[in-house]
Structure 1
Amino acid sequence: MANFCKISFPGSDFVPITVESHQNLSEHLTIQNSPVLFGCRTGICGTCLVEVIGDIPPPQPDEQEMLETLALKNPNARLACQLDLTANIAIQTLEK
């Protein structure tokens, strides 16, 4: 049986969504259901930089390199297109 994760967007008018664990978030978030914008969806453009509140696996080396460039001082910063969902999380967009 699949596990599901709830993604909420505090500070916005967007309603929480639920997706299966280990799904690619960029395939489930659209401009209609989230404040997160996507560009390349491969982790190299930084468009989907967000702050994540919740328990998620650490970033892979390529994502970590981008985060050090885009949001060095924010330990909760992640690229939404690179998240491996394993638990309920809250996402807030970050100003670049």
Structure 2
Amino acid sequence: MVSEKDFKVSFPGTGFPDLKVLEGHSLSRSLDVQNSPILFGCRTGICATCICLVSGNISGADEDEREVLELFAPDQPTARLACQVQVDADLEIKAWHED
């Protein structure tokens, strides 16, 4: 039997509670279920509504996501589109508008 691992997703300084997300699950789908400080628009990675700053060990952005981030969040190495993140580690997330 394979057991799935839970990871913690936290939103430091916001007052929003931590979430437990199963390994490999979509961050955007998990945030839909909970009240969170991250807003979403298209959910396809082109509108940049869900830009956030992520601390934690996550896989890198694909080419399409990198192009969007270069336009909307240049020189922000921790910026990601929340709709494109798969959770595979504990993460700390700040909404882009906080900085």
Q: When you count helix as a share of all residues, which structure comes out higher?
A: 2
Percent identity over the alignment is 45
Normalised by the length of structure 1, the TM-score is 0.93
Question: Aligned partner of 2:11: which letter?
Answer: F
**Counterparts of 2:19 and 2:30, CA distance in 1:** 9
Task: Give 1:8 shift.
Answer: 0.1
Candidates 57, 62, 65, aligned match of 1:63: 65
**Counterparts of 1:68 and 1:2, CA distance in 2:** 34
Normalised by the length of structure 2, the TM-score is 0.91
**Structure 1: which 5+ residue stretches go unaligned?**
none
The residue number in structure 1 matching 2:36 is 34
What are the superposed Cα offsets for residues 22-54 of structure 1, whole Å, 9 maximum, x if unpaired? Answer: 111111113952100000111111000000011
**Counterparts of 2:95 and 2:11, CA distance in 1:** 9
| Aligned residues: CA RMSD | 1.6
Higher Cα radius of gyration = 2
